[in-house]
């Protein structure tokens, strides 16, 4: 049913949220970055614990800020939250998990095999597939070891395992024999070499994930097209592998009617996004949470998100939430004050990029921060300055053509389509390496090529082709969300190390990683929102890039309410909360640009050109 004055079917009152009713042992909260899944997971854990249950809250997010939310240091050991009797928390550290996983495999052969072979094994275990398996390895005990978790009635996970991870765990069980006979050359050789030892445990874990009596998945989204599309994709991917007991929570819906044009435009956008969501998503039991004035940090704020006393801040439906409660307009902020939030404007940033005449411009950041829009705006601004520009994306959820909504001289637009690249790569390896295999070996090889690691290799090859174009034009690359971006860079780094090892010091060579490390050839722009979690994750991404020898060139704070000078009291309080985050960005960044939240979405070339002041 389209949104209107009627209550939507399948919604629930947030004073008694359906996703917590008769809660099973395991609850998973997942969604795009910045949608509030950590806040909702923490609020749910508090509510269950204060209802008398014993609860363990577990974060598997590489950029976890659960400790910051509660104001305590947690880390990789179970830590009691003293302010909430019955609640404990644990943050799984992916880097530590990878180190332990790698050492468990490599340790027994170190000293027995030549150093070069040990180094080769370690290299095979350096990819993102290994990171996901190692992290999953850490919480399989939580799903399968009843004795270890007997003290807890509920285990609440902030971030569910991805379909990528579960798909990898479901690869055939007889890889060991295949590899031992020397027939195998799979793309996931490193992770698989450690998979066999715990295959029975993994099978129990996958069974637990697919059992609706034990596990419930809560998809978290905002009333935005991109996050709802991501939720729909996740819903289908995980339902296909057995996680069918799913709920949807739409977080941060702007309540009330008032005279503020910005607030009215946001509500219209949210209504359209909810009306247009995927039918499979609309059929899920759904609850709505309003946009809160304060950041969800500290127990009072978390308790207010899911109150127990019946004084609802939530509504039964999006229709009720979108039409309730007028806000009185107040004095509008000064636009010159808003302009001072950024050191330079987007137009000045593009002028500085244009001074090099060519090069690779990469936009990175969490999902949902507006990388596609910013990439399109930069590409349009460069093309309007007369430069040849190739705008492309590695993000499977990006819609560059929809954002541009038109054509422009000098601007070429493409998409690195994982499906196309996988098909190209698969056909090539089957015609070469696969030609040597017998019927059984070929069947297993085909199975391996359906694993997620194949996408990593195939997309990397396409990425390498695109970077070569930056020698004589501008290539603007809209990357996938942070996890996928690091996967891509990890593949690039692995390739660089392998080339360096093979070439030695006698020959000159240039790899894609070397191009990324050279600011004269590549400029990395980190895109974030003026919110705690996106800023923290962007800062973590900056550290990861620096460890790889890549220095981010600038930060873009997108969709800033503070820079838009709203009149709505709620939005003004949100704007005030942005200022410390923008100050933090200034400390992190060499250059900072603040782009205001617009009443009209920047879709179409004229609107995108307007973002850069032209």
Q: What is the pLDDT of residues 45-103, one digit of tens each?
A: 999 999 999 999 988 765 566 777 787 878 778 889 988 999 999 887 777 777 777 78
User: Which tens digit of pLDDT belongs to each residue from 316-351?
Assistant: 455 544 444 433 333 333 433 444 565 567 888 999
Catalytic residues: 34, 36-39, 61, 533
Buried b (16+ CB within 10 A) or exposed e, 199-221: beebeebbebbbbeeebbbbbbb
Q: Where are the beta strands (DSSP E) in 223-339?
A: 246-253, 286-290
Residue 358 main-chain phi, psi, to 5 deg:
-165, 170
Q: What gap in Å lies between CA 588 and CA 112, rounded to an integer?
A: 45
- Specify which of 152-161, 298-307, 332-341, 370-379 reaches the highest per-range mean pLDDT: 370-379
pLDDT digits (tens, 9 = 90+) for 490-539: 666 666 666 666 656 566 666 677 788 888 889 999 999 998 878 888 89
Confidence of residue 167 (pLDDT cuts 50, 70, 90): low
Q: Which position has the higher pLDDT, 176 or 570?
A: 570
CA–CA distance, 261 with 59 (Å, rounded to integer): 39
Instruction: Map tokens 């097209």 to a residue.
Output: 225
Across all residues in the chain, what is the average pLDDT?
77
Strand partners, 55: 87, 154
Collect all residues with Cβ–Cβ distance below 8 Å to 95 and sequence separation of at least 6: none
Phi, psi of 411 (to 5 degrees): -110, 115
CATH architecture of 11-322: 3-Layer(aba) Sandwich (3.40)
Residue 86 token pair = 């019955």
Is residue 132 pLDDT above 70, yes or no? no
- Domain 335-416+472-611, CATH homologous superfamily name and number: P-loop containing nucleotide triphosphate hydrolases (3.40.50.300)
Asked whether the beta carbons of 354 and 585 are under 8 A apart, the reply is no
The gap between the terminal CA atoms of the chain, to the nearest Å, is: 41
What's the whole-model pTM score? Answer: 0.75
Look up residue 147 and give its two tokens.
């004795």
What lies within 8 Å, CB to CB, of 362 at 6+ separation is: 477, 479, 516, 522, 523, 524, 525
Check residue 490 and give its pLDDT: 64
With a cut of 90, say whether residue 555 has pLDDT above it: yes
Q: What is the mean pLDDT of the segment spanning 278-284?
A: 93
Which residue ranges does the chain devote to CATH 3.40.50.300? 11-322, 335-416+472-611
How buried is 176 (Cβ within 10 angstroms: 0-12 exposed, 13-18 middle, 19+ buried)? Answer: middle
pLDDT of residue 332: 36
């Amino acid at each position: 049913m389209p949104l209107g004055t009627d209550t939507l079917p399948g919604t629930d009152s947030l004073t008694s949220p359906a996703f917590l009713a008769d809660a099973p042992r395991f609850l998973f909260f997942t969604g795009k970055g910045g949608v509030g899944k950590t806040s909702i997971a923490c609020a749910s854990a508090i509510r269950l614990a204060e209802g008398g249950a014993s609860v363990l809250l577990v974060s598997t997010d590489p950029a976890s800020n659960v400790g910051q939310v509660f104001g305590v240091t947690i880390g990789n050991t179970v830590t009691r939250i003293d302010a909430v009797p019955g609640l404990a928390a644990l943050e799984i550290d992916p880097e530590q998990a990878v180190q332990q996983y790698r050492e468990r495999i490599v340790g027994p052969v170190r000293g027995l095999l030549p150093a070069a072979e040990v180094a080769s094994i370690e290299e095979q275990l350096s990819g993102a597939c290994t990171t996901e398996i190692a992290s999953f390895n850490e919480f399989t005990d939580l799903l399968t070891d009843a004795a270890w978790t007997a003290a807890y009635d509920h285990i609440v996970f902030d971030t569910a395992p991805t379909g990528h991870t579960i798909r990898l765990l479901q690869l055939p069980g007889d890889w060991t024999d295949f590899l031992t006979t020397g027939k195998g050359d799979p793309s996931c050789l490193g992770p698989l070499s450690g998979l066999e030892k715990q295959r029975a445990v993994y099978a129990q874990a996958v069974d637990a994930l697919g059992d609706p009596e034990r596990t419930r998945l809560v998809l978290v989204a905002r009333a935005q097209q991109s996050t709802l599309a991501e939720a729909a994709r996740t819903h289908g991917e995980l339902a296909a592998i057995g996680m069918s007991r799913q709920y949807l929570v739409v977080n941060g819906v702007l309540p009330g009617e008032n005279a503020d044009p910005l607030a009215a435009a946001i509500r219209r956008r949210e209504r359209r996004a909810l009306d247009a969501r995927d039918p499979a998503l609309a059929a899920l039991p759904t609850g709505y949470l309003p946009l809160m004035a304060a950041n969800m940090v500290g127990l009072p704020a978390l308790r207010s998100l899911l109150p127990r006393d019946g004084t609802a801040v939530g509504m039964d439906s999006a229709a009720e939430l979108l039409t309730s409660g007028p806000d009185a307009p107040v004095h509008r902020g000064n636009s010159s004050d808003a302009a001072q939030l950024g050191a330079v404007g987007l137009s000045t940033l593009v002028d500085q990029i244009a001074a090099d005449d060519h090069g690779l411009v990469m936009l990175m950041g969490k999902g949902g921060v507006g990388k596609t829009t910013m990439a399109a705006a930069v590409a349009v601004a460069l093309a309007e300055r007369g430069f040849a520009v190739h705008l492309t994306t590695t993000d499977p959820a990006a819609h560059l053509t929809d954002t541009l909504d038109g054509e422009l001289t000098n601007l070429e637009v493409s998409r690195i389509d994982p499906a196309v690249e996988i098909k190209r790569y698969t056909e090539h390896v089957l015609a070469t390496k696969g030609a040597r295999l017998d019927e059984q070996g070929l069947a297993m090889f085909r199975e391996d090529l359906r694993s997620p690691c194949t996408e990593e290799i195939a997309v990397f090859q396409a990425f390498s082709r695109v970077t070569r174009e930056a020698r004589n034009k501008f290539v603007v690359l809209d990357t996938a969300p942070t996890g996928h971006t690091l996967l891509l860079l990890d593949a690039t780094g692995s390739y660089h190390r392998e080339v360096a090892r093979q070439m030695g010091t006698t020959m000159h060579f240039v790899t894609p990683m070397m191009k990324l490390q050279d600011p004269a050839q590549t400029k990395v722009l980190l895109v974030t929102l003026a919110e705690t979690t996106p800023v923290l994750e962007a800062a973590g991404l900056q550290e990861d890039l620096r460890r790889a020898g890549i220095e981010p060139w600038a930060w873009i704070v997108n969709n800033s309410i503070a820079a838009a000078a709203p009149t709505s009291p709620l939005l003004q309080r949100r704007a005030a909360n942005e200022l410390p985050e923008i100050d933090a960005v200034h400390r992190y960044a060499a250059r900072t640009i603040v782009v205001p939240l617009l009443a009209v979405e920047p879709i179409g070339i004229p609107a995108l050109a307007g973002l850069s002041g032209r």
